[in-house]
C-alpha cells in the first residue's frame, strides 16, 4: 500500500534532524560502533534433562 503524499512529507520532516545528524557521522562510524558493542546472547542456554 502506498503512503499518501502528506504522510510522506510529515514522516520526512519528523526524521530530518536525525537524518542530518547521522549523515554527518557516516556509515563507517556506525559500523565501528556496532562491531565494538558488547555482544548479547541470542538464546538462553538449555540444560539437557537426564
* Stated pTM of the model: 0.34
Q: Running DSSP on this structure, what letter comes out for residue 43? A: S
State the pLDDT at residue 21. 76
Tens digits of residue pLDDT in 2-49:
668 888 888 888 888 777 877 777 888 878 888 888 877 666 667 776
Predicted confidence band of residue 50 (pLDDT cuts 50, 70, 90) = low
CA distance 6 to 3: 8
pLDDT over 60 at 1, yes or no: no
Amino acid at each position: 500500500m502506498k503512503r499518501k503524499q502528506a504522510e510522506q512529507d510529515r514522516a520526512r520532516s519528523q526524521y530530518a534532524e536525525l537524518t542530518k545528524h547521522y549523515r554527518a557521522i557516516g556509515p563507517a562510524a556506525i559500523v565501528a560502533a556496532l562491531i565494538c558493542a558488547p555482544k548479547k546472547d541470542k538464546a538462553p542456554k538449555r540444560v539437557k534433562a537426564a
